Amino acid sequence: MNYCNYCPGYCCYRLKGSVLLIDSDDINRLARYFSISDGEVRKRFMENKNTFKVKEDGSCILQSSNRMIKRCSVHTARPKQCRKFPYDDTCPYLEREDLLTAIQPRVERSLRDSWLKK
């Protein structure tokens, strides 16, 4: 099962202990995606030299604000770290009881719906 499909995207939140580091290649990829300059990417989206701004709820400024889908709005141009996470390993956020409890109802609802369709 791919839990990402049911998760609100905790890896796109600035949770305690999480770090998203962005380098110049990532900035340039976003610049090309938006057809703007690297400097403009820094101005619009970066909080400091290496990381994105976050919204009031702690989510990345580039996460879709559609509460139903909560997906990356720049998926094809997302930074390297976002592409690689969780590095072919179990997602560490799913080992946190509090976060897992939050997505469990969505997983159960989806399994029930797919079972009912059979």
Nearest-CA neighbor of 91 among 1, 28, 24, 30? Answer: 1
Does residue 41 interact with ligand SF4 by CB under 6 A? no
97 token code pair: 């009881």
Residues in contact with 71: Cβ distance below 8 Å, sequence separation at least 6, in sequence order: 9, 63, 64
Q: Is 54 helix (H, G, I), strand (E, B) or coil?
A: strand
Stretch that binds ligand SF4, among 36-44, 70-78, 105-113 (CB under 6 A): 70-78
Q: Is 17 helix (H, G, I), strand (E, B) or coil?
A: coil
| Nearest residue (CB) to ligand SF4, 3 versus 34 | 3
Q: Is 35 helix (H, G, I), strand (E, B) or coil?
A: coil
Nearest-CA neighbor of 71 among 2, 4, 3? Answer: 4
- Minimum CB separation of residue 10 from ligand SF4 in Å reads 4
| Nearest residue (CB) to ligand SF4, 57 versus 116 | 57
Does residue 93 interact with ligand SF4 by CB under 6 A? yes
Does residue 45 interact with ligand SF4 by CB under 6 A? no
Does residue 20 interact with ligand SF4 by CB under 6 A? yes
Does residue 82 interact with ligand SF4 by CB under 6 A? yes
Chain contacts with ligand SF4 (rule: CB under 6 A): 3-4, 7, 9-12, 20, 52, 60, 62-63, 72, 74, 78-79, 82, 85-86, 91, 93-94
